[in-house]
Amino acid sequence: TQLLEQSPQFLSIQEGENLTVYCNSSSVFSSLQWYRQEPGEGPVLLVTVVTGGEVKKLKRLTFQFGDARKDSSLHITAAQPGDTGLYLCAGQDSGGYQKVTFGIGTKLQVIP
């Protein structure tokens, strides 16, 4: 079983601050996805990264896939209260098909 370590697990910051969430593994993934989950709802996909070193931006969110495809980071610039939620990274098994491993998640609270 591949493992994804996500850090930090909890983060409480003031509106306007920047933050970075990390997702690390000793295994190689064919792709890595970041999700956001609100209480009482299922996770919603934010981005998929596939190529080592790839950087994707989604408004104030910047996602990076490590060169070796074993780690990823999510950086939020000037966090807003609307960014509050649980952020999950998920790696797809390099063996193919749909075997997916999720990190524990980072619970982010942005205080107005």
Partner 1 sequence: EAQVTQNPRYLITVTGKKLTVTCSQNMNHEYMSWYRQDPGLGLRQIYYSMNVEVTDKGDVPEGYKVSRKEKRNFPLILESPSPNQTSLYFCASTQGEGGYSTDTQYFGPGTRLTVL
Residues that bind partner 1 (CB under 8 A): 1, 6, 30-31, 33, 40-45, 48, 50, 88, 90, 92, 96-105
Question: What tokens were used for 93?
Answer: 């098994």
Residue 13 or 100 having the CB closest to partner 1: 100
Residue 40 or 82 having the CB closest to partner 1: 40
In this structure, are residues 25 and 31 in contact, taking their beta carbons and an 8 Å threshold? no
How far is the C-alpha of 34 from the C-alpha of 49, rounded, in Å? Answer: 9
**Rounded to the nearest whole angstrom, what is the least distance from the CB of residue 53 to partner 1 in the complex?**
16
Residue 18 or 51 having the CB closest to partner 1: 51
**Rounded to the nearest whole angstrom, what is the least distance from the CB of residue 111 to partner 1 in the complex?**
23
3-class DSSP assignment, residue 83: helix
DSSP state letters, 9-45: SEEEEETT--EEEEEE-SS-EEEEEEEEE-TTS--EE
**Rounded to the nearest whole angstrom, what is the least distance from the CB of residue 48 to partner 1 in the complex?**
5
